[in-house]
């Protein structure tokens, strides 16, 4: 009989109970015992849900107090030296200090989990002496068994993936680190085996990236050692997000099961299993239901795939599971009462995906007639959305086809534009600016809530927004910034704001997903053809500009970021969606320019996170991503200065594409990676305007002038001072008023020192 499983469940809770508990604990409003109790209740409730749905293999150990990679580092005592760790279990104050920073120590770097919208904390191995501090998967297994009688499937990140995601060692030291960690992994697994655990899920998503033959040899060594040390334990070696490399080597490993993604890795994995078959002594974890997307599956189509797999792998060796952890989708559609019916019926969040897995498993074990109603219902829902008017806007398709067939280029090259812009703006060397948003206080959030509820009129709300703009224009002038912003007080989220004003979008009430730490986002749903309807940002930007003689930047979110930070339709390509967004945003750029706004920032922080995991697919993606940005910005006059912003990513392998975007000024996050990005510019030239963020806005600490001066000095060793801007890493929406002002004052002071030092000869 086939079994059902998921690879992980959203930790945040249906009403974001997890987020609220974390933030109350951090604020000192919740004692540690109560905090632990609340998280335990959330965790147990998640197991109970899966148990009641009828999931056969329930993951345990997938729950986290912040991030699963940080959990693994803490379990092995891998703590950066600057935190003064003395050994033993990593206590909450230290754990959260690593993630968020302290007054004395900067936070560890945060970056994207493969090509998803989730961020993990990057382990720092330099100087670490790993030791098992506590067996977290064992603790989770015992808790699930004691509370609900569940024989859970413990989950842990595999050694190769953990090390590939870490920093602080040379490539030549990788094997030595495997030697250090492997005995600890074996200790964890041995204790699980002694406890009576049957299956353990060991996640090695790195095997679905472009790994080398040497890495396969490392995997063989790792899992050969584990099999010898813990022969009784069944290891499900789990991959996801793409098809695996070295399929035949992988399925020959001495493990009991192999997990493959048959959604995002469908083409490659299916081709491999068709050609080479699957070992008769292993279980196949078949990732059939999309763990990252929100769309209801056409279960008839999914069942065809499962039947084909069943012809290769007998049903008693088949686990029907999600393609990856459900961490990446909202919890449930049950409470969504405001979506169009045709859309809601076509959605499946985490809880609905549990049902889909159970239905498919029942169909395999009991025949299709046993679930005939469920199969027909899914087919009807998918078909109804496909026929909807929202997905068939001929005028949009025609216009986008016309402009996407043209090469989008500015009317003048950068050199000519730069001269024209300098003549117009007369900015000093090292212009200072911010990325766009300022603190959204409780007062701002309350005002928006009152307006959304209808308790405030549009006039009241607009007056309030203007008051906030007035305050922050004054503060920016007082601090001494050169290029100002209006502060974005009218915006809940940099993607949601635009989605609400464009056709083709829908919004959930409770569709939250974790982005990083307690930061949860509610991604828009791009379910139809995207179209511009009316100006979206002109009013606030034009008002802000009327209050100052200094330039105020218009602020937009770019097409690739809107796409990558939304749940998108699957019936057309992502490239087509990007071009629809670019065409709509181009009309907004033109409206800003017409209104007299001469600097326009089109943020693209999410370009790199959409980069395909396979190197062979990356160039094509970057080509159309760059084209979409240029489609958005290419029609403005040479004197209009186009800015963009990128963050959260490693850019050394796409510098050429960044330059090809042809933005007059780009700002890039660099401070949280401790300046490592600057190394990219030590090896590559960059001839456009650029600002490398000089302090980390994700941490509440106020950076010193010296810290920022050091960052500026290093950047100016490799970048042209005439083209260098100074700015924070990212927007300041989540920060407090006092820390924001103090940090920006220090930034301006550091800029003054830099001007004194570097202005001679410039």
What gap in Å lies between CA 408 and CA 404, rounded to an integer? Answer: 8
Query: Is 353 within 8 Å of 329 (Cβ atoms)?
Result: yes
- Whether residue 29 is annotated as binding a ligand: the answer is no
CB-based burial label for 232 (10 Å; 0-12, 13-18, 19+)? exposed
Query: Is 250 within 8 Å of 217 (Cβ atoms)?
Result: no
- Angle between helices 17-26 and 92-100 in degrees, nearest 10: 100
- Whether residue 437 is annotated as binding a ligand: the answer is yes
- Whether residue 345 is annotated as binding a ligand: the answer is no
Q: How many residues does the chain have?
A: 762
Task: Give how far Cα 414 sits from Cα of 103, 232, 641, 734, Å.
Answer: 42, 65, 10, 34
What gap in Å lies between CA 378 and CA 200, rounded to an integer? Answer: 32
Query: Residues with catalytic annotation?
Result: 698
- Whether residue 26 is annotated as binding a ligand: the answer is no
Q: Residues 698, 702, 708, 711: is their CA dihedral positive or negative?
A: negative
Residue found under tokens 């493959």: 260
- Whether residue 436 is annotated as binding a ligand: the answer is yes
Buried/exposed code over 451-479 (b: 16+ C-beta within 10 A; e: otherwise): beeeebeeeebbebbbebbeebbebbeeb
- Whether residue 451 is annotated as binding a ligand: the answer is no
- Whether residue 18 is annotated as binding a ligand: the answer is yes
Secondary element (H or E) of residue 464? helix 458-479
- Whether residue 435 is annotated as binding a ligand: the answer is yes
- Whether residue 352 is annotated as binding a ligand: the answer is no
What gap in Å lies between CA 212 and CA 100, rounded to an integer? Answer: 34
Joined tokens for residue 469: 């703009």
Say whether 586 sits in a helix, a strand or coil: helix
Characterise 149 by phi-psi region: left (phi > 0), alpha (psi -120 to 50), beta (else).
Answer: left
- Whether residue 603 is annotated as binding a ligand: the answer is yes
- Whether residue 565 is annotated as binding a ligand: the answer is yes
- Whether residue 519 is annotated as binding a ligand: the answer is yes
Joined tokens for residue 394: 């001929």
CA angle 316, 317, 319 (to 5 degrees): 100
Joined tokens for residue 548: 């100052």
- Whether residue 265 is annotated as binding a ligand: the answer is no
Q: How far is CA 549 from the centre of its chain?
A: 38
Q: How far is CA 151 from the centre of its chain?
A: 32
Q: Residues 4, 9, 13, 18: is their CA dihedral positive or negative?
A: positive
- Whether residue 730 is annotated as binding a ligand: the answer is yes
- Whether residue 17 is annotated as binding a ligand: the answer is yes
CB-based burial label for 420 (10 Å; 0-12, 13-18, 19+)? middle
Residue found under tokens 């603790």: 139
Q: How far is CA 249 from the centre of its chain?
A: 31
What gap in Å lies between CA 6 and CA 354, rounded to an integer? Answer: 8
Query: Is 472 within 8 Å of 737 (Cβ atoms)?
Result: no
Binding-site positions for L-methionine read 435-437, 488, 603
Binding-site positions for L-homocysteine read 435-437, 488, 603
Binding-site positions for 5-methyltetrahydropteroyltri-L-glutamate read 16-19, 112, 117, 519-520, 565, 609
Binding-site positions for Zn(2+) read 645, 647, 669, 730
Binding-site positions read 16-19, 112, 117, 435-437, 488, 519-520, 565, 603, 609, 645, 647, 669, 730
């Amino acid at each position: 009989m086939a079994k059902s499983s998921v690879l992980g469940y959203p930790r945040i809770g249906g009403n974001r109970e997890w987020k609220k508990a974390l933030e109350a604990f951090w604020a000192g409003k919740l004692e540690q015992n109560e905090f632990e109790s609340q998280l335990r209740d959330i965790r147990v409730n998640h197991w109970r849900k899966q148990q009641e749905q009828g999931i056969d293999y329930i993951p345990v150990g997938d729950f986290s107090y912040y991030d699963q990679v940080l959990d693994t580092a803490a379990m092995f005592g891998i703590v950066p030296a600057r935190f003064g760790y003395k050994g033993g279990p990593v206590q909450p104050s230290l754990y959260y200090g690593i993630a968020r920073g302290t007054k004395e120590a900067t936070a560890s770097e945060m970056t994207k989990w493969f090509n998803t919208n989730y961020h993990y904390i990057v382990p720092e191995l330099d100087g670490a002496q790993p030791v098992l501090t506590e067996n977290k998967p064992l603790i989770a297994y015992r808790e699930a068994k004691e509370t609900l009688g569940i024989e859970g499937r413990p989950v842990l990140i595999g050694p190769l993936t953990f090390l590939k995601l870490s920093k602080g060692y040379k490539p030549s030291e990788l094997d030595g680190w495997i030697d250090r960690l492997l005995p600890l992994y074996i200790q964890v697994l041995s204790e699980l085996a002694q406890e009576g655990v049957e299956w353990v899920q060991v996640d090695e998503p790195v095997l679905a990236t472009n790994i080398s033959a040497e890495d396969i040899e490392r995997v063989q060594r790792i899992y050969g050692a584990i099999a010898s040390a813990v022969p009784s334990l069944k290891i499900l070696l789990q991959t996801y997000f793409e098809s695996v490399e070295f399929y035949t080597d992988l399925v020959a490993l001495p493990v009991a099961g192999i997990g493959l993604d048959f959604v995002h890795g469908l083409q490659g994995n299916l081709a491999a299993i068709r050609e080479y078959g699957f070992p008769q002594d292993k279980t196949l974890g078949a990732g059939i239901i999309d763990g990252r997307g929100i769309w209801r599956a056409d279960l008839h189509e999914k069942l065809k795939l499962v039947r084909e797999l069943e012809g290769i792998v007998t049903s008693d060796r088949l686990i029907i599971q999600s393609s990856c952890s459900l961490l990446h989708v909202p919890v449930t559609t049950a409470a969504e009462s405001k979506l169009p019916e045709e859309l809601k019926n076509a959605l499946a969040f985490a809880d609905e995906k549990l049902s889909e897995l159970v239905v498919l498993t029942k169909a395999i074990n009991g025949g299709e007639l046993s679930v005939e109603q469920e199969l027909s219902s899914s087919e009807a829902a998918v078909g109804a959305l496909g026929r909807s008017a929202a997905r068939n806007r001929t005028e949009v398709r025609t216009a986008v086809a016309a402009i996407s067939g043209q090469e989008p280029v500015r009317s003048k090259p950068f050199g000519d534009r730069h001269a024209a812009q300098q003549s117009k703006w007369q900015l000093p060397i090292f212009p200072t600016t911010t990325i766009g948003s300022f603190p959204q206080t409780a007062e701002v959030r309350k005002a928006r809530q009152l307006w959304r509820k209808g308790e405030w009129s549009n006039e009241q709300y607009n007056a309030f927004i203007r008051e906030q703009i007035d305050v922050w224009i004054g503060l920016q002038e007082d601090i001494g910034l050169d290029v100002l912003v209006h502060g974005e007080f009218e915006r809940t989220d940099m993607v949601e704001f635009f989605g609400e004003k464009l056709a083709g979008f829908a919004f959930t009430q409770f569709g939250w997903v974790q982005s990083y730490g307690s930061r949860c986002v509610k991604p828009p749903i791009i379910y139809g053809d995207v179209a511009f309807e009316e100006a979206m940002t002109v009013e606030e930007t034009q008002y802000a500009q009327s209050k100052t003689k200094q330039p105020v930047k218009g602020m937009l979110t770019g097409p690739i970021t809107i796409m990558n930070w939304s749940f998108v339709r699957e019936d057309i390509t992502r490239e087509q969606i990007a071009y629809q967004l670019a065409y709509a945003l181009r009309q907004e750029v033109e409206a800003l320019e017409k209104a007299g706004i001469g600097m326009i920032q089109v943020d693209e922080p999410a370009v790199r996170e959409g980069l395909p995991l396979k190197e062979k697919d990356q160039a094509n993606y970057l080509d159309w991503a760059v084209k979409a940005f240029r489609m958005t910005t290419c029609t403005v006059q040479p004197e209009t200065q186009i800015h963009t912003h990128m963050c959260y990513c490693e850019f050394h392998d796409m510098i050429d594409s960044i330059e090809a975007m042809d933005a007059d000024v780009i700002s890039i996050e660099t401070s949280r990676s401790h300046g490592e990005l600057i190394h990219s510019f030590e090896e590559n030239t960059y001839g456009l305007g650029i600002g490398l963020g000089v302090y980390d806005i994700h941490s509440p600490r106020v950076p010193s002038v010296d810290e920022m001066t050091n960052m500026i000095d290093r950047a100016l060793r490799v970048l042209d001072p005439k083209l260098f801007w100074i700015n924070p890493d990212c927007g300041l929406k989540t920060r407090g008023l006092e820390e924001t002002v103090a940090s920006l004052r220090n930034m301006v002071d550091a800029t003054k020192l830099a001007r004194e030092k570097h202005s001679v000869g410039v």
